[in-house]
Every structure is written in C-alpha cells, then in structure tokens.
C-alpha cells in the first residue's frame, strides 16, 4: 500500500517540471491580469504613475447600474446576437446541405463562401463602409438611385437602425462560411443509409432534413449556437471601423463603449468595472449554453 502511494506521488513529481512552465505562463498572462483588472475596477485608477490611485470600492459598479449608455450598448449587443445568429445558422446549414449533395463545383463554392471568414474584419468593415457610404458615392445608394427604387440617397450611418442594419448584414455575410463548413463536417458524419431508407419510404427532401438531418445534427447545432452567441458579445471591430458608436453613441456595443471609456475618456477604473461585468455575463452565458448543449446531446443519444 505504502509502496503504491509512493509510486503514485513519484509519477506526479516527475510530471511537475513539465507542467510548471505552462502554469507560470498561466499565472502571468491570465490570473494576474484578471486580478489586476479587478483591483483597478475598485479604484479611481490613473494611468499616470506619479499619481496615487484612490480606492473607491464598488462605486464603479454602482455607477454602471445607472449608466444609460451602458444599457443602450447592452441592448445593441443583444440585438446583434438575436438578429445575426439564426440567419447565419440557417443559411450555413442550407448551403452545407446543397454542397453535401456533391453538385458540380462544390469545392469552388466552399472556397467562395469561406473567403469572407478568413478575410480580416478590418478589410471587410472598410469595404462595407464604402458600399453603404452616404450620398451618390456609396455603391448601394448608387444602385438604388439609378434603378429608381429611392428618390434620395440614404444616410445609412446617420440613423441608429440603418447603421445597425449594416453591421448586422456584415456579420451574417462574414459568418455564413464558417457555419457552412462546420455543418458540412457534421453532415458527412451521418450514415447515408438513413436517407436511403427514407427514400424507400417515400420521404421528400424537406422531410429528410426535418426528421433525419436536424435531429442527428443536434450536437453540432448546439456547438455552433454556443460559439455564435458568445462571439456576439465580443463584437467590436466592425462597429469601431464603420460607425465608432455614431450617431451620438446610438450604435455603441459593450466592447466599443468599454474602449471609449478607457482610451478616449481615460476612465480606466470604470472601464475595468465594465469589463468585469461583461466578463461575468459572458461566462454565465457560456456555462448556460454548455449545460443546454450537454442536455441536447444526451437527448440525441437516447
């Protein structure tokens, strides 16, 4: 008994030197920044080193609860998630089903739809900003004016809802390719005998998708949904490039507002408090999604 325990601990000690570098890096780059950020959130933190940081306790968190712009940013972020997640999943699944039928040129379609995914957010945001530019200079306005659909050009980025619509369209367009590839991988794991048996029973395409494809893809669907929902609360680049919160901060999302508070207003303490609040919310959302995904996966195995 003593010998077996000694042998067990000896093996753990032998492994420890290999784990130690990773653990040290984890402390330096993960745990220390989190602890430092929490400390900053409890103070009126000043980036100038020659000034003392005043401890304010939970005053920054109380301020956040009363911050109208923060709640507006949360609404914009939530709307971004609600509007963009489902279209990405539905369109990605439809494209995956079409490509999985082994039509001619399917490899080319995969490349064309996946190019937006690997293209930088900065590049596509600048392109969309040009496409939806106000006046005749914008491509969309030019097409709509020339076709007689609208009498006057639309100032897309001067209105909260039209500006948000452009941001949503960009997100859906860029995310379809990733959804398509993930769903395609899931479809290729489904045994073809299920579809052959359904065809013998006279099932049409819609029935096969409803009763075979969707149920067997439940784990993949939950995985995609979790990634998209969590990713929606990390939206930043396209908002910063295309609107920078305009008009009058009405298109701010959580991360862009945090960035403005930290690097425009230089209110580091309050920005740290916002990051803690957003981080906790995303953590709770991710855990809830993971639990929901595990429940769905267990149901699919029954």
What's the confidence (pLDDT) of residue 298? 60
Nearest Cα residue to 43 out of 56, 58, 33: 56
Question: Are the C-beta atoms of residues 230 and 285 closer than 8 Å to each other?
Answer: yes
For residue 208, what are the domain limits?
A: 67-301
Count CB-CB contacts under 10 A for residue 194: 15
Question: Are the C-beta atoms of residues 100 and 184 closer than 8 Å to each other?
Answer: yes
Query: 199 Cβ partners below 8 Å, 6+ apart?
Result: 208
Write the pLDDT tens digit of every residue in 257-302.
999 999 998 899 999 999 999 999 988 888 887 777 666 556 555 5
Higher local confidence (pLDDT), 293 or 119: 119
User: Does a structural domain hold residue 270?
Assistant: yes
User: Does a structural domain hold residue 296?
Assistant: yes
Question: Sorting pLDDT into bands at 50, 70 and 90, what band is 111?
Answer: confident
User: Does a structural domain hold residue 231?
Assistant: yes
Structural domain count of the chain: 1
What's the confidence (pLDDT) of residue 104? 77
Write the pLDDT tens digit of every residue in 46-77.
776 656 678 889 999 999 999 999 999 999 99
Q: Is the dihedral of CA 24, 26, 27, 28 positive or negative?
A: positive
Nearest Cα residue to 222 out of 160, 125, 135, 288: 288
Q: What is the CATH number of the domain that holds 126?
A: 1.10.3720.10
User: Does a structural domain hold residue 175?
Assistant: yes
């Amino acid at each position: 008994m003593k010998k077996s325990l000694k042998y067990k601990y000896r093996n753990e000690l032998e492994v420890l030197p290999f784990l130690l570098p990773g653990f040290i890096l984890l402390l330096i780059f993960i745990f220390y920044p989190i602890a430092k950020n929490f400390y900053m959130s409890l103070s009126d933190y000043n980036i100038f080193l020659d000034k003392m940081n005043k401890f304010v306790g939970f005053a920054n968190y109380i301020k956040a609860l009363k911050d109208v712009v923060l709640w507006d940013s949360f609404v914009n972020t939530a709307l971004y998630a609600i509007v963009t997640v489902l279209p990405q999943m539905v369109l990605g699944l439809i494209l995956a089903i079409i490509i999985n039928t082994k039509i001619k040129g399917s490899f080319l379609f995969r490349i064309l739809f996946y190019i937006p995914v690997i293209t930088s957010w900065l590049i596509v945001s600048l392109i969309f900003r040009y496409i939806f530019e106000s006046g005749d200079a914008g491509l969309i306005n030019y097409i709509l004016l020339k076709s007689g659909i609208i009498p006057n050009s639309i100032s897309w980025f001067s209105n909260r809802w039209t500006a948000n619509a452009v941001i949503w369209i960009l997100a859906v367009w860029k995310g379809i390719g990733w959804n398509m590839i993930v769903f395609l991988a899931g479809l290729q794991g489904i045994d073809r005998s299920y579809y052959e048996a359904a065809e013998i029973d006279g099932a049409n395409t819609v029935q096969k998708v409803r009763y075979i494809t969707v149920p067997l893809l439940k784990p993949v669907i939950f995985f995609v949904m979790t990634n998209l929902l969590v990713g929606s609360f990390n939206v930043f680049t396209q908002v910063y490039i295309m609107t920078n919160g305009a008009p009058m901060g009405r298109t701010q999302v959580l991360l862009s507002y945090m960035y403005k508070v930290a690097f425009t207003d230089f209110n580091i303490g309050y920005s740290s408090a916002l990051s803690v609040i957003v981080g906790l919310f995303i953590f709770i959302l991710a855990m809830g999604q993971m639990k929901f995904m595990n429940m769905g996966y267990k149901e699919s195995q029954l």
